[in-house]
Amino acid sequence: MLKQLREFDMLVRSIKHEPVFKENIAYKGSSVLTYKPVVRGFCGKIPMTGTTFQQKVKLFFQKIKKKIIEIQGKPFERKIGNATFIFYPKSPVTDNFVKEILEGIETLGLTGKRIIKRQQLKIAVGQKATDVFPDLKGVKPPGWSTGATIDHLPAFRTSDNLLGPDSNSIIGFFEKPMSIKSRARSNAVRHEIGHDADNLWSKIIGKKFSQTEGFVEALGKDIKRLPDSLKKYDKYGKFAPRLEKLLQGSTEDNLTKTGLSETFAEIFAKLNGGSQTEQYLKGFDKFIEKVLPETTAYIDKLLYLTGKR
């Protein structure tokens, strides 16, 4: 019995802190991440008849050991604010990182809440992509340079279909991607949810908003004027490489689906508080508004009609 009690003491000491959520008035009434130790109340009922005291203690230890393994390794969900978060104990993130992701969601206001609800989105947070999506280990992200893997991304969406068409709608945000400068911040949240705003139109009119006639026409006009616009607003070529990556090979007469989608998501983020690019390439948001004025104005009208602006 003494040996069992010592084992029990060691087990309790080994229990890691389980994330729980606590109301923080200073943070706009949203629930934020705090920690408390898990010690009791999770073992369930121990059979009280037909067993000796020693058997009861043994059953208690078995249940405690099983629960500790679950707590230490199994992903779990928590509802915070307008979104359901998925946490991965083997790939922990800081409280500040969670708060920053929440801030990105909150900047989208009612529009963001509707998108999350209609798309049934869940937000997964971890240190890097393969901690959350292990099946993507070694996969090259679409549009990225040679040598880059999925673990270089600050964020990833399962609706990109790399995990198959039947995968759930999950957006992963990563605190420690291999590409250090692109750690997910509130800007990345706005960009990724922008993709889902674009996709939402497929359920309404049968195609993405970025593939509608009006959007294609607006971006086509901007690309036609692009050579003159770049001479005027990007004399030293500071922003051109990023814009080229955004457009994904689109020309006036041939706009690629990826280019349309990425351009929509980036301008959507810009108009809602700041684009993903702005966090590491200062001045890009002002630049994009000058070289893609028709496209920016068209998305701005959409936000106005949906009650955001």
Q: 78: which strand partners?
A: 85
Residue 215 in domain: yes
Q: Determine which of 8-22, 125-139, 276-290 has the lowest per-residue pLDDT on average.
A: 8-22
Q: Is residue 241 assigned to a domain?
A: yes
Full-model pTM: 0.72
Q: What is the DSSP letter of 30?
A: -
Q: Where are the beta strands (DSSP E) in the chain?
A: 17-23, 31-37, 76-80, 83-87, 122-126, 155-157, 170-174
Give the pair of three-digit tokens for residue 238: 């500071």
Asked if 92 and 135 sit in the same domain, the reply is yes
Last residue within a domain, chosen from 182, 216, 246: 182
Q: For the chain, what is the mean pLDDT?
A: 78
pLDDT of residue 4: 54
Question: Which region among 35-39, 107-111, 133-137, 269-273 has the lowest average model confidence (pLDDT)?
Answer: 35-39
Residue 29: the pLDDT is 43
Asked if 86 and 162 sit in the same domain, the reply is yes
Same domain as 301, residue 223: yes
Q: Are 238 and 168 contained in the same domain? A: no
Burial label for 58, CB within 10 Å (0-12, 13-18, 19+), is middle
pLDDT of residue 287: 95
Angle (nearest 5°) at CA 274 between 268 and 275: 60
When comparing pLDDT for 72 and 195, which is higher? 195
Q: Indicate the pairing of strand 83-87 with strand 76-80.
A: antiparallel
Six-digit token string for 269: 């983020």
Task: Give the list of residues 6+ apart from residue 234 with CB closer than 8 angstroms, or none.
Answer: 240, 287, 291
292 & 214 share domain: yes
Residues 212 and 298 in one domain: yes
Tell whether the model's pLDDT for residue 295 goes beyond 60. yes
Mean pLDDT of 22-33: 42
Same-domain status, 78 and 162: yes
Sorting pLDDT into bands at 50, 70 and 90, what band is 25? very low
User: Which 3 state secondary structure label does DSSP give 19?
Assistant: strand
Q: Is 174 helix (H, G, I), strand (E, B) or coil?
A: strand
Tell me whether residue 284 is in a domain.
Answer: yes
Selection from 176-180, 272-276, 302-306 with the highest mean pLDDT = 272-276
State residue 109's pLDDT score: 83
Verify that 277 and 234 share a domain, yes or no: yes
Within-domain flag for 192: no
CB contact at 8 A, 60 and 43: yes
Beta-carbon contacts of residue 192 (< 8 Å; ≥ 6 apart): 155, 157, 171, 173, 265
Could you report the per-residue pLDDT of 110-124, keeping only the tens digit for each? Answer: 888 888 888 888 999
Question: Is residue 33 in some structural domain?
Answer: no
One domain, residues 164 and 77: yes
Question: 176 and 236 share a domain?
Answer: no
Q: Residue 243 belongs to what domain range?
A: 207-305
Q: Is the pLDDT of residue 59 over 60?
A: yes
Q: Single out the residue of 161, 166, 78 nearest to residue 124, CA to CA.
A: 78
The verdict on residue 200 lying in a domain is no
252-289 per-position pLDDT tens digit: 889 999 999 999 999 999 999 999 888 889 999 999 99
* 127 and 212 fall within a common domain: no
SS3 87: strand
Within 8 A by CB and 6+ apart from 247, the residues are 223, 256, 259, 262, 263
* Total of domains in the chain: 2
Asked, for residue 188, whether it belongs to a domain, the answer is no
Instruction: Specify whether 174 is located in the same domain as 220.
Output: no
d(CA 222, CA 263): 12
Q: Look at residue 47 and tell me if it is in a domain.
A: no
